[in-house]
Amino acid sequence: MCAKLILKKGVVKIGNTAIKKRRPELSFLNTLFCLLVIFIHIISYMVYSFPVNTFKYNALIFSWKGLTFVVQGFIMLSACKFFLTKKDEVPYFKYIKIRLKSVAIPYVFAFIVYYIVFMLRYDYKLDFWFIFKNFISGNLVYHLYFIPLILQFDLLTPLWKKIIDKVCPVAAIPLFIVLTMLCQDYLPYIINKCFPDFTFLYNDRIVTTYLSFYIIGGYIGKNYDKFLNLLVKHKTKVFIIYLFITLVFSYFTYVNYNYIYTVSFYNNIHSLYVISALIILFLIAFKIAPFVMDKFKVLKDIDKASFYIYLWHVLTLYGANYILEKFGIISDFLSFIIRIIIVYPVTIFLCILYFKKIKSK
């Protein structure tokens, strides 16, 4: 009964299109991914600070690799919300206009600010070809690639709509999982074979590397009630599958990152782990999100401001690094604590404040 009450919340209207209100479980996941991506970027400074095959090294490696589902999670959520909220019924060019305003314009502004900082801090030159290449690829700062990536998915929405509407998920999902794995492993090689003088360096930031996550998210959004009912009904099986994949992934992570031997299919194992982790997180979120999101009101604010938090948290992290440098702090543990207590509150507070300000206009 509780699940039905959650699933049958009212609708709101955007123009002539009725869309459903924010689901607490989706808001919870969005907030979780937002907070985790900051944590991943903070601990990444420490990952290779310890000798290989030591307890500290492995603790960091398992934490780091075990949490690297956030980008895929954002993509899955984006597709889920697109189909769940009936945005697929919004005319294409109107939707693209909305996305350019809400995603591309903040990205342009953030890119300019980061570049100015790099000019002042690292003596970057005003090289327009360099700027153009890094703007298109999102390569200026390590986290910005996500914005051009998600805009690629937005531009191809007619294709995703056709697939989700016309193809059975039982056939499409395994097909796209395999296709994604093949693209992850072989697309640069194929491109190089076709164009021998060209080396493709951006396989980690194009749609082919994340196809399965978007397609799965799209089917979830299109069949949301059915998906949640199946998830709850088969929760024990889902957990056992997740546990098995996690154990396999942990083993190959250990041998690969401790240089015992190179796991050539590691990316494929990682993809399966990410899918299983995201599905289990959906189940957890469905169970606890209504209580958690109501109990801790700040999480709702983080959810709404999450895009800005994602854009700007690295700038705050650079600020924290500058402080560490100025005070000569070299301890890994102390540096970690200082980054945590600076980056989280400063970024979250300022981004929530900014979001509320622009929404009040």
Band of pLDDT at residue 19, cut at 50, 70 and 90: very low
- Look up the pTM and report it: 0.91
Give the per-residue pLDDT at 299: 96
How many Cβ atoms are within 10 Å of 327's Cβ, its own excluded?
A: 10
Question: Mean per-residue pLDDT for 228-233?
Answer: 94
**C-alpha to C-alpha distance for 219 and 209, rounded to whole angstroms:** 18
Average pLDDT for residues 340-349, to the nearest whole number? Answer: 98
Look at the chain and count its residues: 361
Distance, CA of 210 to CA of 75 (rounded, Å): 8
Tell which residue, 214, 230, 231, has the closest CA to residue 282: 231
* Dihedral sign (CA 73, 76, 80, 83): positive
Q: Residue type at 99?
A: R
Other CB atoms within a 10 A radius of the CB of residue 160 amount to 21
pLDDT digits (tens, 9 = 90+) for 99-141: 999 999 999 999 999 999 999 999 999 999 999 999 999 999 9
- Residue 291's CB is within 10 A of a number of other CB atoms, namely 11
* Alpha-carbon distances of 311 from 145, 194, 295, rounded to whole Å: 11, 36, 27
Q: List, for residues 28-87, the tens digit of each pLDDT value.
A: 999 999 999 999 999 999 988 888 989 999 999 999 999 999 999 999 999 999 999 888
**Rounded Cα gap, residues 246 and 248, in angstroms:** 5
Joined together, the tokens standing for residue 236 give 């024990």
Give the containing element (helix H, strand E) for 323: helix 306-326
Confidence at residue 361, expressed as pLDDT on a 0 to 100 scale? 67
Position of tokens 């700007």?
312
Q: Is the pLDDT of residue 282 over 70?
A: yes
Q: Which residue has the tokens 């606890």?
A: 288
Cβ within 8 Å of residue 56, ≥6 positions away: 50
Q: How far apart are alpha carbons 176 and 275 in whole angstroms?
A: 12
Q: Are 278 and 21 in contact (CB under 8 A)?
A: no
Say how many C-beta atoms besides its own lie within 10 A of residue 36's C-beta.
15
Q: In degrees rounded to 5, what are phi and psi of residue 322?
A: -65, -40
Residue 67 DSSP symbol? T
Q: What 3-state class would DSSP assign to 57?
A: helix
pLDDT > 90? residue 250? yes
Q: Are 183 and 208 in contact (CB under 8 A)?
A: yes
Contacts 24+ apart (CB under 8 A), 112-121: 113/315, 114/140, 114/141, 114/144, 114/314, 114/315, 115/140, 117/315, 117/318, 121/318, 121/322
At 263 the three-state DSSP class reads coil
pLDDT for residue 11: 46
DSSP 239: H
Angle between helices 266-295 and 24-43 (to 10 degrees): 120
What gap in Å lies between CA 90 and CA 80, rounded to an integer? 15
Domain ranges of the chain: 2-360
In this structure, how many other beta carbons lie within 10 angstroms of the beta carbon of residue 278? 23
Instruction: Residue 153: name the closest of 83, 239, 105, 252 by CA.
Output: 83
